[in-house]
Amino acid sequence: MIKKLALVLVAVFSFVLQSYDTKSTIGGNDDVLNSTRLASKLNINDRAISLAIKGYQKLKEQGKLINHRYLTIADFSKPSSEERLYIIDMESTELVLQTLVAHGKNSGTLFAKNFSNKNESNKSSLGFYITGNTYFGKHGESLRLTGIENGINDKAAQRAIVLHGANYVSNTAISQMGYLGRSQGCPAVPSNQVQQIIHTIQGESCLFIYAPNQDYLNRSKLVG
């Protein structure tokens, strides 16, 4: 009798512990998954984070994310003069970093409004990416990105779309021009922060580039 009671207590304790562990991450707590509350907590565009979480969850469920602790959002609904790159710790639901990020030179000047998946378009591509490994190129240490939305950003590797540092992504550039310098389509970040960013989100984590673009919203299978 005592042995059976002990087994029951162990089973109950294990169930409670599992429930707690599930609710301690963004994958299992309805309150945390409320994008409005999270947007308010982290001061992020509600629409951007709502769609980002939806896609992140699908990718996580499909087993496509190895580094699923971090979700990175580039919110191109904001001007380039604002800090619009967010790295979120999905376990603690805390903001790890908020900083500047550039868009492609043919996507727009202050705002990114035009997007493309075509080679040599010099435009940004919206949607979900999975981060890869690092390499050293003309911009120094850089992070490979795989666009995973067919017809939307899946030519990212062909286009050499990567995350890299750039001197034109700085407050100095903003003070001189009113906006950041622009890339050939890469999400370029400040040179003095690129190493921290890369070492945090490398290894198959989720990056979402958002803009209030109806064509993307109609075509994407990850936010539908």
Res 15 pLDDT > 80: no
CA distance 114 to 192: 28
* 188 in Cβ contact with 169 (< 8 Å): yes
Question: Domain coordinates of the chain in residue numbers?
Answer: 1-33, 43-219
pLDDT of residue 101: 98
The amino acid sitting at 205 is: S
CA distance 120 to 58: 31
35-49, 120-134, 141-155 — which is least confidently predicted?
35-49
Res 185 pLDDT > 70: yes
Half-sphere exposure of 49 (CA within 13 A, CB side): 26
List of residues 6+ apart from 224 with CB closer than 8 A: none
Q: Which CATH architecture has domain 43-219?
A: Beta Barrel (2.40)
List of residues 6+ apart from 65 with CB closer than 8 A: 56, 59, 130, 204, 205, 206
- pTM of the model as a whole: 0.85
